[in-house]
């Protein structure tokens, strides 16, 4: 199978695997870059591609954190925690439930500790997006 015969999603994945940045590029642009890298005569077998499955599976973490994603995005942009009542406690609770790996850890909502839940949950969110096939939703 030739890469010119691939569907759009497969072509993008193949181009990324070859080190080509596909963001914002049209199919013709990607094909041109691939042509410049590899002779067109090199045929690829269908075994060279892993079929795209989109989101691998749903995880309850995404449902629980959905309401708080705007606060995490705001934190990521301006590095300020929310002063809205209940938000920090909810973020800390979700962090402890899904992200924290230390079984002896406890929630501490003292002002100096709240700041630490935001970046750690943001990082954990991004890791889980990658793990569960949601790269477009990373913060």
Q: Where are the domains of the chain?
A: 3-48, 60-137
Residue of 114, 64, 70 whose CA lies nearest to 88:
114
| Each residue's pLDDT tens digit, 41-62 | 445 555 555 555 555 567 888 8
Alpha-carbon torsion angle 56, 126, 6, 17, nearest 10: -120
Structure token pair of residue 97:
């439930």
> Any idea which residue has 């010119």 for tokens?
4
- Please, which contacts does 23-31 make with residues 24 or more away whose CB atoms are closer than 8 Å? 31/3, 31/4
Is the pLDDT confidence value at 65 over 80? yes
Question: pTM for this structure?
Answer: 0.53
């Amino acid at each position: 199978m030739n890469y010119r015969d691939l569907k759009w999603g497969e072509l993008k994945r193949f181009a990324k695997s070859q080190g080509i940045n596909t963001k914002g590029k049209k199919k013709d642009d990607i094909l041109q870059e691939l042509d410049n890298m590899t002779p067109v005569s090199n045929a690829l077998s269908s075994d060279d591609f892993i079929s795209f499955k989109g989101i691998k599976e749903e995880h309850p973490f995404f449902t629980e954190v959905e309401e708080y994603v705007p606060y995490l995005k705001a934190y990521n942009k301006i590095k300020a925690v929310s002063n809205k009542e209940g938000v920090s406690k909810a973020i800390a609770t979700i962090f402890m439930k899904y992200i924290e790996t230390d079984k002896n850890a406890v929630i501490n909502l003292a002002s100096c500790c709240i700041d630490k839940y935001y970046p750690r949950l943001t990082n954990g969110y991004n890791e889980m997006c990658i793990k569960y096939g949601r790269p477009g939703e990373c913060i």
